[in-house]
Amino acid sequence: MEKRRNDGDGIASDRAATTLELPSDCEILITRTFPAPRRILFEALTRPEYVRRWWAPRSRGEMVDCEIDFRVGGTWRYVMRAHARPPARGEFEVGFSGVFLEIEAPDRIVQTEIFDPFPDAPATVELLLVEHAGTTTLTSRSRYPSKEIRDSVVRSGMEGGMRESMQQLAELVAMLASDR
């Protein structure tokens, strides 16, 4: 199992908090623990008004569309308006979508994930939430159709964006927990 280091992403507060591993040729495993009950994290992951606040990394763009039909067989779609990185200029949209395959609230969600430019390369993503003594560990296991697709995802720069999104999710979950 390859464990990726978090060097050079500029998110110092996330260095120890979020791990990204490559447990097999076709998988990405992301883990993070949140100091909040599972039900709060589950809400933050499934309610559009909360997803809008954490999903798009602020340094890279903004979320412009968040649709969630949260039921087995329901669909989801997130679109981010991203800032082009130098030397390119301007903005472009990045879209992701999928279908909810299994929902076991508030413990587990299984869904597909499709990146718009590659509709024939869907991933299956399993999210597990395990609570112990008021803290919840989120485990996200993405399975891709091939090693080549998984490696393309890793090379895309997703790791830095994912880490920033996880940090934003942690901030939101902390706020929600303190309000309750």
In order along its 180 residues, the chain shows pLDDT tens digits of: 655 544 334 444 454 689 999 999 999 999 999 999 999 999 999 999 999 999 999 998 999 999 999 999 999 999 999 887 777 778 889 999 999 999 999 999 999 999 998 899 999 999 999 999 999 999 999 999 999 999 999 998 899 999 999 999 999 999 999 987
- 47: alpha, beta or left, given left = phi > 0 and alpha = psi -120 to 50? beta
How would you classify the pairing of strands 75-83 and 91-104? antiparallel
- Are the CB atoms for 109 and 46 separated by under 8 Å? yes
- State the amino acid at position 95 in one-letter form: G
Mapped onto helix, strand or coil, the DSSP state of residue 12 is helix
- Residue holding tokens 């979020």? 18
- Residue holding tokens 């024939």? 120
Confirm whether pTM is higher than 0.85: yes
18-179 classified as CATH 3.40.190.10: no
